[in-house]
Structure 1
Amino acid sequence: MGIRQDIQRKNIHHYLRTKVHKLDIGTLFNKKQQIVIYGCGDLGKYLCDDIFEIYDILCFIDNASKAEMYHNIPIYSSFSLDLREVLINSEHLIVIVTPVWDFSNIYNYLMSISDKNEILPVNLLFTALEMGIDFSKYRFGSIYDEALRTMLHSHVTIKEIMCASSAYMFLQYLLLKDDWENTYFFLSDVFPNKLYHRMQAIGINCCKTASYDKEEKARLFDCIRLLALYASVRRLEVYAPDGMPEDVYFSRDKFTVLEDGTTNYLPKYVNRFRFMLPVLGDWQNATVYGYNQYAKKIILTGRLSIPEVIKDKVEVKNLKSLWYAKNEGVKEKILELFDVPIEDIRKYVKDGFDYILLTQPMKTFVYSFTNDEQLTMYKKILNKYDCSRVLIKPHPRDDFDYKNAFPECEVIRSDFPFEFFYFLDVPLEKIITIQSSAAMGLYPKEKVDMQFEYIKMFDEDLYDELTDIYNRS
């Protein structure tokens, strides 16, 4: 009882704080919104006093109340047939839950009666009010609104959030976890579309940002903030690269950073990227990729030397060991999800393709970089190799036509991470790349032809730091 009273006191304090700052809960929803208040104690009555003239409050839910009415609004027990009728027959109903210590049980019970209603913990509303989020804007259409509805309404209890900007990052999470059913995946706009659609097809809870105009961008980021509040209220674990604009909004108190290529190993390079992070209501300037006080753990594969500044919170995982630890059924599910063309790979091996070129999307580094310049660069790199033995695996964001440029080579167009070659023990004589992180730390250095000199032409500081750390690793 002490814990419940303490939580209720905090919520009443939170409510009073909104009143002191003259924030009006009557601005959160569309006018005449139909509302049910779960709990007719002090906080439930305070809410009702504020909004009963603005919104259509259909009833209270309270199993302990001795009264039958408040402001001429009926008070039903949770087992009342009248309540069931209200929940089932209302078109778009919001249930505000004041006893948030029991939110999960209340949520599950109300959803068992009707799964079409919004069920929101009251502290989420107070925080949204303080952050200036207008719930009335998020009734339809937004992809993140859809995500919030899924998290609130799904028959699956969401326990973790995973933000991913690449197929490789998504793969890391699948290898780290035995169960993905209770995870919601937020995928950035550069995440491979085909992989996203396969995730949807097999029922993985996920959404993906898209290109949007300035107004839509602002709206989506408001939704992200709201989702971050939900994650904090439910104390969800969050896994993210800590470098996507989307993921900096999520709660920092249980935040685990996943490896994002070589970037995590380059402290000087990382220091260039700073975001304003919302921490405990204050906006603070901080570095990303785990180089801040809010990221509690960083999971790396040890591809390069781990910088001293983050060493204390790094946990090193061997991806191949994680792959071998999975049972055959899970491995098959992962291979199918990533659409790994195993038969094609076997044919390439049989036909003598034992060199592989891992390309880079050069236009993401240098916007003025032309196709002709890219062709010249890769011709120079491949000049010393027998192209009849070269397999080209383009970066997912590299749309250059390699088959036309290098007809002797085979081109494998698929969004699966290169790490699968390593997991499946595909025999490779040489891995050729400019700076692909996939080639680092997996194979002996003598098998890797790292063409760092091409980085120098667009970023000399990155070249210096990367070559130094690579040579020391």
Structure 2
Amino acid sequence: MHKYSTPRFSRVCIVDTVYSLFIYLLISSKEETDHTFFFFSDGIDASIRNRFPNHYYIPSKDFPKRNFISRLWLRLKLRLVAPFKWPFLSSADLYGHDHLCFTPSLTGNRKMTVLEDGMGNYCDNPFGFVEYSGIELLIRNLLFGPLSTKRPLGKSSYAEKVILTGMKSIPEELKQKAILIDLPQMWDALEESEKGRICCLFSIDFAMLKELSQKDTVLFTQPFADEITLDELIGIYRKMLENVDKDKLLIKRHPRDMVDYKTAFPGVCVFDKPIPMELLTLLGVRFKDAYTISSTAVLLLPPTVKIHFSGHAVHPGLLEKYGDIQIGNLKGNK
């Protein structure tokens, strides 16, 4: 019997961001987490992946750079192998991201519960998804399952439920399947042992929290490498921070952001540990000012924090792909 064929895996979680992984851990009991098999990709750092004994790593960082035949073969190979290597995929409850390149190869025609992955769940079509038809629709359905031909981020009929925090008005097509959660409320309701378990999974310690408490301003970065040049991005951040005391500044790098901010901002504290800021906020890390282009991490900061939210209008590439967005359009104005 294959080592993964044991029926104890009653759940499967497919995620590629620490934010969505944190949400899954919050909505799941320890027993449910122990009975979950995880599929991770590059968005979940190895230091975190390795703390989950029941997981499989699917590298996807270089996937877009491959040619069409190579991408097709990798997805098709996974589709053919998955039922035999992980037979529990046919019966386990499915959670996670429906927009990853490999998700349809794992889920086939089964339904799943989609976990919020930031602002994308509230946008109409942030990834520029193309509606397929004719022979291409038939081939994609046959090779990878119907999820590969449907709009992602909870909008397809294969997304049975969508876990959302309500950071923006819920799209009409999600209202019937949306389950709203309150992260601070859920965190406060946890037993101390459960809080400790989650902190351990993300490698959080008291020395780290003490260091962060010495900063009063934070910049939340984002992985915008495909929409904007490095020089343009650094230029935007420098203009945002020109009047900030650099000794009191913390740059919180997004887990998928590969920019070397220590070189771009010499002497500034760069926090690049793969920990969701939402969790650090719940642990008591406080700031007076928070700067960002459009990171939704600012939505969980206490109301005493002054938010400097630039929005996508700071660059035409961002505006074209993601549309205009301001802090007033978000959680406080549903």
The two structures share one fold, judged by TM-score above 0.5: yes
Counting only pairs closer than 5 Å after superposition, residues 79-158 of structure 1 correspond to structure 2 as 117=1, 149-152=2-5, 154=6, 157-158=8-9
SS of residue matched to 2:325: helix
Q: Which amino acid aligns with 1:373?
A: E
Range 211-220 or range 416-425, more displaced: 211-220
SS of residue matched to 2:222: coil
Q: In the alignment, which residue of structure 2 is the partner of 1:412?
A: 271
- In structure 1, the gaps of 5 or more residues are 1-116, 118-148
SS of residue matched to 1:242: coil
Q: Which amino acid aligns with 1:218?
A: W
Deviation at 1:409, TM superposition (A): 2.4
Q: Which amino acid aligns with 2:8?
A: T
Q: In the alignment, which residue of structure 1 is the partner of 2:77?
A: 222
Deviation at 1:253, TM superposition (A): 4.2
Q: Is the 8 A contact 1:239 1:258 kept in 2?
A: yes
Deviation at 1:196, TM superposition (A): 1.5
Q: 1 CA distance for matches of 2:265 and 2:41?
A: 31
Change (3 A) 1:437 1:247: same
Q: 2 CA distance for matches of 1:217 and 1:209?
A: 15
Deviation at 1:195, TM superposition (A): 1.6
1:294 is matched with which residue: 149, 158, 168? 158
1:206 is matched with which residue: 26, 38, 55? 55
Q: 2 CA distance for matches of 1:329 and 1:438?
A: 25
* 1:384 equivalenced with 2:243 (yes/no): yes
Q: Is the 8 A contact 1:270 1:289 kept in 2?
A: no
Counting only pairs closer than 5 Å after superposition, residues 25-64 of structure 1 correspond to structure 2 as none
Q: In the alignment, which residue of structure 2 is the partner of 1:313?
A: 177
Q: In the alignment, which residue of structure 1 is the partner of 2:23?
A: 172
Counting only pairs closer than 5 Å after superposition, residues 180-259 of structure 1 correspond to structure 2 as 180-199=33-52, 203=53, 205-210=54-59, 211=62, 215=70, 218-219=73-74, 221-227=76-82, 234-249=90-105, 250-259=107-116
Q: Which amino acid aligns with 2:177?
A: K
Q: In the alignment, which residue of structure 1 is the partner of 2:217?
A: 355
Q: 2 CA distance for matches of 1:439 and 1:252?
A: 36
Q: 2 CA distance for matches of 1:403 and 1:255?
A: 40
Q: Is the 8 A contact 1:273 1:288 kept in 2?
A: no
More contact order relative to length (CA 8 Å, sep ≥ 6): 2
Q: Is the 8 A contact 2:312 2:324 kept in 1?
A: no
Change (3 A) 1:338 1:441: closer
Q: Is the 8 A contact 2:154 2:162 kept in 1?
A: yes
Change (3 A) 1:287 1:348: closer
Q: In the alignment, which residue of structure 1 is the partner of 2:11?
A: 160
TM-score w.r.t. length of structure 1? 0.60
- In structure 2, the gaps of 5 or more residues are none
Change (3 A) 1:458 1:215: closer
Q: 1 CA distance for matches of 2:255 and 2:76?
A: 25
SS of residue matched to 1:186: strand
Q: Which amino acid aligns with 1:241?
A: H
Deviation at 1:190, TM superposition (A): 3.2
Change (3 A) 1:273 1:340: farther
SS of residue matched to 1:243: coil
Q: In the alignment, which residue of structure 2 is the partner of 1:342?
A: 206
Change (3 A) 1:443 1:241: farther
Deviation at 1:222, TM superposition (A): 2.4
Change (3 A) 1:445 1:253: farther
TM-score w.r.t. length of structure 2? 0.82
Q: Which amino acid aligns with 1:206?
A: H
Deviation at 1:328, TM superposition (A): 1.4
Deviations 1:75-104 (A, max 9, x none): xxxxxxxxxxxxxxxxxxxxxxxxxxxxxx
Q: 1 CA distance for matches of 2:75 and 2:12?
A: 17
Deviation at 1:405, TM superposition (A): 3.0
* 1:434 equivalenced with 2:296 (yes/no): no
Q: 1 CA distance for matches of 2:304 and 2:116?
A: 21
Change (3 A) 1:397 1:282: closer
Q: Which amino acid aligns with 1:354?
A: D
Q: Which amino acid aligns with 1:356?
A: V
Range 398-407 or range 417-426, more displaced: 398-407
Larger Rg: 1
SS of residue matched to 1:296: strand
Change (3 A) 1:450 1:274: farther
Change (3 A) 1:308 1:279: farther
Q: 1 CA distance for matches of 2:260 and 2:249?
A: 15
Q: 1 CA distance for matches of 2:43 and 2:205?
A: 22
Deviation at 1:164, TM superposition (A): 0.5
Q: 2 CA distance for matches of 1:198 and 1:387?
A: 34
SS of residue matched to 1:305: coil
Q: Which amino acid aligns with 1:180?
A: T
Q: 1 CA distance for matches of 2:253 and 2:259?
A: 8
Q: 2 CA distance for matches of 1:157 and 1:252?
A: 22
Change (3 A) 1:244 1:298: same
For the aligned residues, what is the CA RMSD? 3.0
Q: Aligned residues: percent identity?
A: 26
Q: 2 CA distance for matches of 1:326 and 1:447?
A: 29
Deviation at 1:401, TM superposition (A): 2.6
Q: 2 CA distance for matches of 1:225 and 1:321?
A: 42
